[in-house]
Amino acid sequence: MEALIAVLPGDGIGPEVCTEGLRVLDAVADQYGHQFKCSEQLIGGAAIDATGNPFPADTRAACAESDAVILGAVGGPKWSDPNAPVRPEQGILALRANLEVFANIRPVKIIDALTDASPIKADRLGGVDIIVIRELTGGIYFGKKTRDENLASDLCIYERHEVERIIRVAARLAGERRGKLCSIDKANVLETSRFWRDVTVRTMEAEFPDIEIEHMLVDAAAMHLINRPATFDVMVTENMFGDILTDEASMLAGSMGMLPSASLGETRRGLYEPIHGSAPDIAGQGLANPCGMIASIAMMLRLSFGLDDESAAIEAAIDSTIEDGIRTADIAGVDHASTGTVGMTDAIIQRLH
Ligand code: IPM
Ligand code: MG
């Protein structure tokens, strides 16, 4: 097949992991006879430096005509003055809103050989296989913000259709898995959460009577994720709770560096990014773990292009690389790292078949 991909490397380790992800994509293209045309564009701090805008018009145009978008990471100390008029993170938020990718899919699966890399005791980790569906284009991230000398506010707002459509995505996925869905909210305090719960109950009753639905408060979910992670399957939640819980859940897998994400809307055009940030402390040193990005590319092949075999081949290559003991610093401790960003990717490409 042929596809056009917008590549937004961004800041910090973003460009390094993008380069490595694209090497894997090239290897897959060669092996399976596909043509992926990539158009590299600015986002985040790099875009602020070059144009003053974290999501410039050229980037928006390239994304609009692409079949999928790959994002590295944005942000860094250079742009983190809280009083700065523009911030790199606004670039990601504008990108998500612009692509209308309201469903952020973050799988947390544990590779057995990595249980030692997790700070959680190994006996809790057996069988952990969670997918968090995070609502990505609404809630407190996008509500009106105000600020004066003595007061600041962020409005958290959800409309019925926004809740319905994310619940549908999660319920369909639950139907393909264990038939159970856990919706996370804070309905004991927040009106938006009571609304979320109400709309969820109605949508599930009307459209997914066979899926078992459980409602859990976000504070309890944060605890249970550590205490009994293997009991979760598909979790669905609003934007900010999803942001927080997925960072927490990433620790089950040993490192944020391992985990991919996909963001989808009503079309097949998706946004694919590792869940880690720009890690300015290790940027440019060849230390970053490229697995989260490479696994995100595997998600792209499956979800945007329907290339299941190619996607599975990449995932299997990542697993066997880890099983063979090849480790970047984040999953091995600095003293034990056996390789860096490029070496890890080489090892994955070698195992692609
Ligand atoms: C994430 C990140 C972003 C978010 C930041 C960089 C805006 O933390 O993708 O989880 O909060 O959504
Ligand atoms: Mg986050």
User: What is the position in ligand 1's atom list of the atom closest to the CA of 239?
Assistant: 12
Catalytic one among 67, 185, 186, 272? 186
Catalytic one among 219, 281, 309, 324? 219
Q: Is 219 a catalytic residue?
A: yes
> What type of residue sits at position 340?
G
- pLDDT above 80: residue 52: yes
- pLDDT above 70: residue 333: no
Q: Supply the angle between the helices 88-99 and 44-51 in degrees, to the nearest 10.
A: 110
Rounded distance, CA 149 to CA 157, Å? 24
What's the mean pLDDT when you consider all of the chain? 96
CB 204 within 8 Å of CB 219: no
From the CA of 242, how far away is ligand 1's center (Å)?
10
What angle is formed at CA 119 by the lines to CA 116 and CA 124, rounded to 5 degrees? 75
User: What is the position in ligand 1's atom list of the atom closest to the CA of 73?
Assistant: 6
**Segment 81-119, tens digit of pLDDT:** 988 999 999 999 999 999 999 999 999 999 888 888 899
Q: Is 247 a catalytic residue?
A: yes
Give the residue-averaged pLDDT of 7-25: 98
Give the residue-averaged pLDDT of 333-341: 81
Q: Is 330 a catalytic residue?
A: no
The pLDDT score that the predictor gives to residue 176 is: 97
Whole-number CA gyration radius for the chain: 20
**Segment 317-332, tens digit of pLDDT:** 999 999 999 999 999 8
* Ligand 1 contacts CB of residue 243 (under 6 A): yes
From the CA of 33, how far away is ligand 1's center (Å)?
35
The pLDDT score that the predictor gives to residue 126 is: 92
The pLDDT score that the predictor gives to residue 335 is: 66
Give the residue-averaged pLDDT of 9-31: 98
The pLDDT score that the predictor gives to residue 254 is: 87
17-21, 110-114, 206-210, 225-229: least confident range: 110-114
Q: Which ligand has the minimum distance to the alpha carbon of residue 134?
A: 1
Residue nearest to atom 12 of ligand 1 (CA): 243
Give the residue-averaged pLDDT of 269-286: 97
* DSSP code string of 178-193: TSEEEEEE-TTT-HHH
Percent residues over pLDDT 70 in the chain = 99
Residue nearest to atom 10 of ligand 1 (CA): 243
**Segment 120-175, tens digit of pLDDT:** 999 999 999 999 999 999 999 999 999 999 999 999 999 999 999 999 999 999 99
* Ligand 1 contacts CB of residue 11 (under 6 A): no
The pLDDT score that the predictor gives to residue 82 is: 84
Report the largest interatomic distance among the alpha carbons of the chain, rounded to a whole angstrom: 61
From the CA of 158, how far away is ligand 2's center (Å)?
20
- pLDDT above 90: residue 334: no
* Ligand 1 contacts CB of residue 297 (under 6 A): no
Domains of the chain plus CATH, in order, are 1-102+257-353 (3.40.718.10), 119-253 (3.40.718.10)
The pLDDT score that the predictor gives to residue 336 is: 79
The pLDDT score that the predictor gives to residue 116 is: 86
| Interior/surface letters 136-156, b for 16+ CB within 10 angstroms, e for the rest | bbbbbbbeeeeeeeeeeeeeb
The pLDDT score that the predictor gives to residue 337 is: 78
The pLDDT score that the predictor gives to residue 313 is: 98
Rounded distance, CA 288 to CA 298, Å? 18
